[in-house]
A and B are shown apart, each in its own frame.
Chain A
């Protein structure tokens, strides 16, 4: 039966309406349905007409959380009771496909009662909007937001993790700076740039540790060889004295008891023997003094260098005849071994006095100057000087740049100077011009 009036086919209009409509009786049997509804629910009109709503559209049995049927039933009951429209919240209401499987769908339903004159519900218009696409988009947005949140969290964890790794690298760099190469950096499984740096630093630590061990071994070996050499020098010097005393003694006996039996040539040769024996004795004494330096422990005190230099002048005036003018400025105070520094200044000043002895106006000047971390003492003279190309030989044992006839000496004095200053952690050097004079410098760490 077609419903019509005034020549209008209302049934055709209803069924063709661009919306999803279903008309129910109060017992929830289906009496009318729009084409759009049939299409959306994949049903056919003849299959659903006259049948119960929930018989045709049950819940998805595979979805344990499905509550579409109960929500719709509740809404319809409310309408029957209140006789007023009811808009439902968006429902997840899966649609059964012709093959029996279900398709996930979301609906926004509105249920409106149709009343008769007695205000009784005679029909219920059930209108739905398929909002599946909207919900899917919304869900997709929520999922994307969730993924974004996870990404942010992971990134912040990564940054935190990286911070810890960089802190570790910085800590190890600090330890390396303090010469502690025992620390190693754990390499992660990420294989990133920080791991590459960690591997490089670990290798560097191993190399430096090995290098330092080699240097320490070499130093120990050198120290051991030095100790042996000192012991040998001391022993040889000491043992040479006894036969030398014998040579000198027998020469003395010859002079005293057999002088009348010798002719003038014999006496001259005998004097030469005594002279050379005495010289050799001096050399041995100097060598012994030099070797003793290696064994001597430093006893550092605060030294007023002006007072020390005055003491040296007194000694020199008593032991070395000279006519040199000696000028001294205000000298810096230092912390060093008094006896050894006295020896250094004595050796330098007596050398200056010796090498200026042939000048008409011999002059020796002593001064000091303060540098960044050290105090430099200077002994300058206008004596014989030396050729700078031989400067490297000045401080060697028994090294001499002048003949004994020109200036007497053993060649040990400057070696002692270098050894003493080196023992104090200082430096010694010299500048000179042949025939015009020499300047000797020694530096000591500044007193704090």
Chain B
């Protein structure tokens, strides 16, 4: 898991990195949720859940 960046821009950059990885069908990246509990955190929680679901689906297909 990546380290939580201190500023908002850094967190947005990480979200983009995660979105790009997902688009490349690599669902392994999880982002840290900060203690700020703001809108960005809400999106990160949603993206991490999506990553879990998609990687579970991929695993099932492999088996």
Query: Which A residues form the contact surface with B (CB < 8 A)?
Result: 162-163, 166, 169-170, 173-174, 176-177, 179, 193-194, 196-197, 200-201, 203-204, 207-208, 211, 215, 427
Contacts and interface: CB of A to CB of B under 8 A. Distances in A.
Nearest to A176: B50
A173 B16 contact: no
A173 B23 contact: no
Contacts of B46: 169-170, 173-174, 177
A275 to B, nearest CB: 43
A202 to B, nearest CB: 10
A254 to B, nearest CB: 54
Interface string B37-63: 001001100110110011001000101
Contacts of B43: 166, 169-170, 173, 197
B22 A204 contact: yes
A151 to B, nearest CB: 20
Nearest to B17: A200
Closest 9 pairs between A and B when the two form their complex, measured CB to CB: A173-B46, A200-B19, A166-B39, A207-B23, A177-B53, A193-B12, A177-B50, A204-B23, A170-B46
Contact of B47 (A173, A193, A196, A427): A173
B34 to A, nearest CB: 15
A200 B42 contact: no
Nearest to B9: A193
Nearest to A212: B57
A166 B49 CA distance: 16
A444 to B, nearest CB: 14
Contact of B42 (A166, A177, A207): A166
Interface of B: 8-9, 12, 15-16, 19-20, 22-23, 25, 39, 42-43, 46-47, 49-50, 53-54, 57, 61, 63
Contact of A197 (B9, B12, B54, B63): B12
Given A174-B46, A177-B49, A215 B23 contact: no
Nearest to A207: B23
Contact of A211 (B25, B39, B50, B53): B25
Nearest to B61: A215
A189 B17 CA distance: 23
A197 B23 contact: no
Contacts of B22: 204, 208
Contacts of A208: 22, 54
A204 B42 contact: no
A162 B15 CA distance: 17
Nearest to B47: A173
Nearest to A193: B12
A170 B42 contact: yes
Nearest to B11: A193
Nearest to A167: B42
A211 to B, nearest CB: 6
Nearest to A174: B46
